[in-house]
Amino acid sequence: MEKIKNYINGEMINPISNTYIDNYNPSTGEVYSLIPDSNEEDVDLAVKSAQAAFPTWSKTSKEKRSIILQKLATLIEDNLDRFAEAESKDNGKPLKLSKTVDIPRAAANFNFYATGVLHYASEAHAMEDMAINYTLREPIGVCGCISPWNLPLYLFSWKIAPALAIGNTVVAKPSEVTPYTAYLLSELCIEAGLPKGVLNIVHGLGHKVGAAITKHPDVPVISFTGGTITGSEIARTAAPMFKKLSLELGGKNPNIIFDDCDFDKALKTTIHSSFANQGQICLCGSRIFVQRGIYEKFKTAFVEKVERLKVGNPFDEDSNLGAVVSQSHMEKVLSYVTLAEEEGGTVLTGGNQVHLDGDQKNGYYIAPTIIEGLSFDCRTNQEEIFGPVVTIMPFDTEEEVLMMANSTKYGLAATVWTQDVTKAHNVAAKLHAGIVWVNCWLLRDLRTPFGGVKNSGVGREGGFNAFEFFTEPKNVCIKL
Ligand code: NDP
């Protein structure tokens, strides 16, 4: 069976302990490769190699860094099919999604930050004829980047690309559930000519490898995307060490559909925002609030269209939903359907595991699920499910829907559907969210700030925000 390797100091190596964890293909339920079960020693080796590479990489001209990272982006594009197939096999997502979103966006992240660094400038503050201040933005050192399984290479590259482009070195850990494309990326880093030690990828379990990166004294920066509970654990470790922290955490995003929306567009996009990637995108809208005047019409059309979605082999062209990422995740998602029923909800469609035939018979498939009849403040409507399960609720007024939308501890994203521009501005301003989409969803401009409020995170990624995070400002004041 194929053994994935760590990428440390420019080489693909086995974990020091020589022990491995099974890597499952969620669409078949079979183990198809082995992941290094790395530990603190592997992390320490990676940190040492990143430390050794830092002085040279941070002084390498940004033009040269840019060329190498653009080459990496081009290599990802050249390997689109191979990477997309690997991502779908590892994660269970439809191949067409990997081909059109995950892998192209991973390449775009490298391109964006490789070119962005050429345009990044710092500030100067003149004090009339007394003095001038200028601010240096200096790379910090070894950055720890820890990413989740839902958009594996895409979110991995979203952190690594800005950290490297601005002159840091990196020790990164992809999710142990979906390590494969990060492994393939190591090969491309070597081909692109990334100097040894600049990027190090250590595979393994979160509580071993992730925790070792977080607490390592020579890693002053941690950029983490994942669940809120893990985020708080990381914060507990990192805060007393005064590490710089960026936390992109969970969400429970509201989707607010007013009477005056463009009905067909709202319906079509809501299907997408509910069930894309099997609902496993932190930005998916999982609480759908529909204004009373169109509630019944919307509900009927929504259920009817969702029933036509095909849950199937991720490699079939016509599959709309593939497998969820793991057996334990499938069980967690389905347990929320049981909870919803206990809380008085009615399952309008779905709510069950889907059993496919042939190779897929042991895969982790769930029917897209819509639940009605729940109060806005029940657990099903307050906790993150992170699967193909949404709730639908009627509302009457703007005030009422804002109260319900803002009632959770999360505040990542929200979607608003209305043709009334004033209403759109009003509602967007009052929503507790880091990102609000009006009459669209998942439209991303890489320059915009990305992140959440409340328990959805601390800090912002995206655009030059990422360069600000991955540098320390130093103000120099010169008396004239
Ligand atoms: P987890 O929090 O379980 O894991 C995220 C990463 O952290 C994984 O690499 C994991 O490793 C690692 N990890 C686990 N425990 C520790 C630890 N003690 N110390 C350091 N690292 C650790 O999240 P999931 O992978 O389950 O991802 C789903 C979550 O991510 C959802 O809550 C979702 O909302 C959120 N998310 C947020 C986004 C945002 O931008 N705000 C975007 C995408 C997802 P391992 O997998 O090996 O355990």
Give the tens place of pLDDT for each residue, 258-309: 999 999 999 999 999 999 999 999 999 999 999 999 999 999 999 999 999 9
Q: 228: CA distance to ligand 1 center in Å?
A: 8
Mean pLDDT, to the nearest integer, of 190-218?
Answer: 98
Sheet bearing 131-139, strands edge to edge: 124-127, 131-139, 471-479
Q: Is 370 in the pocket of ligand 1 (CB under 6 A)?
A: no
**255 band by pLDDT with thresholds 50, 70 and 90:** very high
Q: 301: CA distance to ligand 1 center in Å?
A: 35
Q: Which atom of ligand 1 is nearest the CA belonging to 204? A: 47
**35 band by pLDDT with thresholds 50, 70 and 90:** very high
**Of these residues, 85, 176, 248, 384, which one is catalytic?**
248
> Which element (helix H / strand E) includes 329?
helix 327-342
Would residue 261 show up in a list of annotated catalytic residues for this protein? no
**Of these residues, 145, 189, 282, 284, which one is catalytic?**
282
The closest residue, in CA terms, to atom 12 on ligand 1 is 206
Which tokens is 163 given? 């950290």
Q: 155: CA distance to ligand 1 center in Å?
A: 11
Q: Is 253 in the pocket of ligand 1 (CB under 6 A)?
A: no
Q: Which atom of ligand 1 is nearest the CA belonging to 329? A: 26
Q: Which atom of ligand 1 is nearest the CA belonging to 205? A: 47
Would residue 189 show up in a list of annotated catalytic residues for this protein? no
Nearest in space to 76 (alpha carbons), one of 146, 163, 156, 3: 156
The pLDDT score that the predictor gives to residue 359 is: 95
Domain ranges of the chain: 2-249+456-479, 253-446
Pocket test for ligand 1, best of 177, 225, 230 (most atoms within 8 A of CB): 230
**208 band by pLDDT with thresholds 50, 70 and 90:** very high
The closest residue, in CA terms, to atom 25 on ligand 1 is 148
The pLDDT score that the predictor gives to residue 52 is: 99
The pLDDT score that the predictor gives to residue 133 is: 98
pLDDT per position as a tens digit, 431-460: 999 999 999 999 999 999 999 999 999 999
Pocket test for ligand 1, best of 225, 245, 461 (most atoms within 8 A of CB): 225
Q: Is 461 in the pocket of ligand 1 (CB under 6 A)?
A: no
CATH of the domain spanning 2-249+456-479: 3.40.605.10
Q: Is 70 in the pocket of ligand 1 (CB under 6 A)?
A: no
412 Cβ contact partners less than 8 Å away, ≥ 6 residues apart: 249, 250, 251, 252, 253, 282, 283, 433, 434, 435, 451, 452, 456, 457
Q: Is 470 in the pocket of ligand 1 (CB under 6 A)?
A: no
421 Cβ contact partners less than 8 Å away, ≥ 6 residues apart: none
Which tokens is 460 given? 């912002």
Render 8-67 in DSSP notation, one character per residue.
ETTEEE--TT--EEEEEETTTTEEEEEEE---HHHHHHHHHHHHHHHHHHHHS-HHHHHH
Q: Which atom of ligand 1 is nearest the CA belonging to 450? A: 40
Orientation of helix 152-165 relative to helix 103-119, angle to 10° = 10
- Chain mean pLDDT for the chain: 98
**370 band by pLDDT with thresholds 50, 70 and 90:** very high
Q: Is 173 in the pocket of ligand 1 (CB under 6 A)?
A: yes
Percentage of the chain beyond pLDDT 90 is 100
**320 band by pLDDT with thresholds 50, 70 and 90:** very high
Q: Is 250 in the pocket of ligand 1 (CB under 6 A)?
A: yes
Q: 253: CA distance to ligand 1 center in Å?
A: 18
Q: Is 251 in the pocket of ligand 1 (CB under 6 A)?
A: yes
Architecture of domain 253-446: 3-Layer(aba) Sandwich (3.40)
Q: 148: CA distance to ligand 1 center in Å?
A: 4
Q: 450: CA distance to ligand 1 center in Å?
A: 17
Residue 285 near residue 270 (C-beta atoms within 8 A):
yes
Render 72-133 in DSSP notation, one character per residue.
HHHHHHHTHHHHHHHHHHHH---HHHIIIIIHHHHHHHHHHHHHHHHH----EEEETTTEEE
**253 band by pLDDT with thresholds 50, 70 and 90:** very high
Q: 212: CA distance to ligand 1 center in Å?
A: 15
